[in-house]
Amino acid sequence: MSKKTPIFYIFHGENQFELRAELRTMRARMAEADGMGDLNISTFDGTTASVAEVISTAQMMPFLADRRLVIVEGMLTHLAPKAKRGKGKAAAEPDDEGEDKPTGGALKVLQEALPSLPESARLVFAEPSVLRATHPILKFAEKADSRGLVKAFTVKHDKYSRPDRPKWDSAWLADWITKRVEHYGSTVERRAVAILAQQVGQDLYALDNECAKLAAYVGTSRPITERDIAALTQYLPEASIFDITDALGKGDAKTALTLMHRSIERFGESPLGILAMINRQFRLLIQVREAVDDPRLEATLRGVEDFKSTPDFVLKKLREQARRFPLAELERIYRHLLDVDYSIKTGRITDVLALDLLAASLAIRA
């Protein structure tokens, strides 16, 4: 006997990009199937709408169609039981079966109403994050006879990720980028994937936009490269930062100035942005240089906050560059960079002039 079609759905998780794509697909199929457009589609803000309002809408007969789609944003998260503690123990503790006790009667009303929805109903709860496994509606939906379907839209977190500062797994993100590029009919080099992930960060919408733009630019003739990213995005190639750092460390003012001004004019970088990247580069080099000098630090380098998400090829280049500088010289330059940054932010000097003077002063002191 085949399983009956679900009449309510729970979509939850941090991966809102794919969750929203699923909702768009449902809406499109609905509109195409009955030819009535959005007449049989309703959307509610679950933080303000009542359970009674949502259920009554889902129970309405569809207009000249077989189904009615009701999408509710964030209701299950909003109604989730809140643990209240007092005098050393939870005031709202789990019952004998480990299930949270609902706060108020809204969740109970909702749970009792779901089985009575008509066959025409398609009620979707779209939640902004992963629901707790003990959430009453989630537990009910997972029962075989509930007529509910649960789908989690998750991201993979880095093993060093903390709840207050979540970090995504770099391999998972790289795979996601690669698949999005392939979705747009192109391919991408592995190095370009790592750079794109590092530059854009944990924003799937922004990453998807960059993937679409790069795929349209390159087409199917060849893979997307770092050079393409530099041409189409506000991205300063990693190589330029290493070259600028080398030039500053050697006191080569001419090369440093050429590279910095090219970054401003060609790649659209702000002078303060360049200074921040140079500042960060020397901070990383100091830590890597210390690790190069002390094998005990080298063994724990990946556990340091600055290096947890650094691609392997970048860390390798940092090691190579750090070996070219004495630690005392790196620390001297870093202190000077902090002085320059302070002078800009206190209005003592303009940002472009500060970069020029930075290169000149290091050349004099080299």
Distance CA 218, CA 11 (A): 35
Distance CA 128, CA 47 (A): 12
Q: Is 25 in a helix, a strand, or coil?
A: helix
Please give the helix or strand (H or E) that residue 227 lies within, else none: helix 226-232
Over range 53-81, report the average pLDDT: 91
Whose CA is closest to 14, among 147, 169, 135, 119? 169
Show the domains of the chain with their CATH numbers.
8-152 (3.40.50.300), 170-232 (1.10.8.60), 238-365 (1.20.272.10)
Distance CA 7, CA 34 (A): 17
Judge if pTM exceeds 0.75. Answer: no
Over range 214-238, report the average pLDDT: 80
Residue 85 has pLDDT above 70, yes or no: no
Whose CA is closest to 273, among 206, 354, 185, 191? 354
Distance CA 310, CA 227 (A): 20
Q: What is the pLDDT of residues 294-315, one digit of tens each?
A: 888 877 777 777 777 666 667 7
Residue 346 has pLDDT above 90, yes or no: no
DSSP for 150-197, written as a single string: EEE---PBPTT-BTTB--B-HHHHHHHHHHHHHHTT--B-HHHHHHHH
End-to-end Cα separation, the chain, in angstroms = 81
Distance CA 232, CA 97 (A): 56
Over range 303-330, report the average pLDDT: 79
